[in-house]
Structure formats: C-alpha cells, structure tokens
Amino acid sequence: MSTEKELITIITEAVLETELCKKIEQLGATGYTVIDVRGKGHTGNRGGDWKESANIQIEVVCNAHLAEVITHTLETNYFDDYAMIVYRSPVTVLRSDKF
C-alpha cells in the first residue's frame, strides 16, 4: 500500500547534526536519514576534508503539516546564522505503515 508524504531535504553544516536531529524528533518526526555530502554553492566549496568544513544532508519523510512545522522552525532559528538549504518534495511512500 502506498501513501503521499513530503520529503524534507536539509543540506547544512555538519556541526549542527546532533542539534538538528534532536529538534526534528522533538517536533514529531519518527525518523530521519543523515548523509555526509560535499559540494559548492553560495558559501563556496565545502569539501568535507575536515569536520569544521563538512556538510551533511538530512532527509525526513513526513506529512505536510509536520513538513511545514519543521521547515518554519529551520527558517526561523537557523537560516540567519548557518549555511543551510532546505527543500520539500512530494513523495509516494510504498511502505506507508513505517510512517
């Protein structure tokens, strides 16, 4: 059985991993995935050669209301002080019982 959900993708500084994962759970997400990533963008090249310059990607699959709550929280509390990109995408989840 499938269901429609939203995928939140957060690309940000690795130093925020513990804090963001805790906040995402506090807001009601039942899980997330964290991936080490590299790239180049507005803040320059983020190679990840050392922890202080590394980036992570956090993915959360959730309902639309929770997606709005999480993205608003990130925008309000982190956008001004950290390198962070956030986007939302509609997804079809095949194992809907997991969410």
Domains and CATH numbers, the chain: 3-92 (3.30.70.120)
* pLDDT one-digit tens code per residue, 26-74: 999 999 999 999 877 766 555 555 556 689 999 999 999 999 999 999 9
Residue keyed to tokens 């956090």: 58
Helices 64-77, 17-26: crossing angle, 10 deg rounding: 140
Indicate whether this model's pTM tops 0.95.
no
What is the chain's percent helix, strand, coil content, to nearest 5? Answer: 35, 40, 25
